[in-house]
Amino acid sequence: MPSLRKHPLVALGFAGALLFGTAACGSSDSGSDGAKGSDGGSGEEATVWKVCSDMPYEPFEFEGEGPRGLKYTGFDIELLDAIAEDQGTTLDITDSDFDTIFASVNAGTCDIVASAVTITPERKENSLFSEPYFDADQSLLVPTDSDVTSLDDLAGKTIGVQTGTTGETYANENKPDGATVQAFPDASALFAALQADTIQAVLQDLPVNSDRATKDDKVTVVETFKTGEQYGFVVAKDNKDLQTKLDAGLKAVTDDGTKDDIYESYFPNAGN
């Protein structure tokens, strides 16, 4: 495996266990030119893996100078590209809405979903997952000057979540009496609503909220919820061959230290 390619350093400081081991607006932009094939269950050898990912969901996927000429980058993108390189293929990335992303992979629009997807029993009923590559919890983000210090303080207030995510599920199952849960299509809309005081808190994946708080001193993470969630790459239910390739590539880049290098570059203060 070649050494780690240069990419933007995304600093993230937060406490809590983040180990290698859900979620994350819709355009048809492609992250790679000259796609010549797909591994979408046709039985033909792929030269390109078509990837659906919901942008932006920093630090996991967002627009920027990525590896091997990609116009998207982030932890998920860099890790998947390293896996693809190990397997002798490249990536063609399309920005896709998260609430339709699973249907896209099962319909063959893309071969792989790489979008900080939490592995759940419900999702495993309809799709195949790679081995887990990241451990993540849920968290609560509020304005720095807010009097909210926990989920219980949001009675009578509005909690923002992203549509179709495990954060939405957690909020609906654990909100205090009198609280309202409002869903948004992507993380950007969530943060904009928080800034406008349309919502009083954002409940979503800890790495994403922590990344936002690191970059914006007007918001802070006040509570973390240990959920035991793990991320995996997603393929169609009948595409076991691609699942096998993903797992083989993931093992290879883990064993040779490439995954550790990528992780450290995005989460230098994670304490792993």
- Show the domains of the chain with their CATH numbers: 48-134+230-266 (3.40.190.10), 137-228 (3.40.190.10)
In this structure, what are the phi and psi dihedrals at residue 195, rounded to the nearest 5 degrees? Answer: -65, -35
One-character DSSP codes across the chain: -PPPPP---------S-------------BSSS------SSSSSPPSEEEEEE-S-BTTTBEES--GGG-SEESHHHHHHHHHHHHTT-EEEEEE--GGGHHHHHHHTS-SEE-S-PBP-HHHHTTEEE-S--EEEEEEEEEETT-S--SGGGGTTSEEEEETTSHHHHHHHHHPPTT-EEEEESSHHHHHHHHHTTSSSEEEEEHHHHHHHHHH-TTEEEEEEEEEEEEE--EEETT-HHHHHHHHHHHHHHHHTTHHHHHHHHH-TTS--
160 has which bridge partners? 182, 202
Place of tokens 């091997």: 68
Residue 245 to residues 90, 130, 210, 223, 241, Cα–Cα distance (Å) = 13, 9, 32, 38, 6
Q: Residue 103 contacts by C-beta under 8 Å, 6 or more apart in sequence?
A: none
95 has which bridge partners? 53
How would you write the pLDDT of the chain (272 residues) with one tens digit per residue? 333 333 333 333 333 333 333 343 333 344 443 334 454 444 445 589 999 999 999 999 999 999 999 999 999 999 999 999 999 999 999 999 998 999 999 999 999 999 999 999 999 999 999 999 999 999 999 999 999 999 999 999 999 999 999 999 999 999 999 999 999 998 899 999 999 999 999 999 999 999 899 999 999 999 999 999 999 999 999 999 999 999 999 999 999 999 999 999 998 866 43
Q: Per the confidence metrics, is the pTM higher than 0.85? A: no
The answer to whether 179 and 170 have CB atoms below 8 angstroms apart is no
Structure tokens given for 210: 């922590």
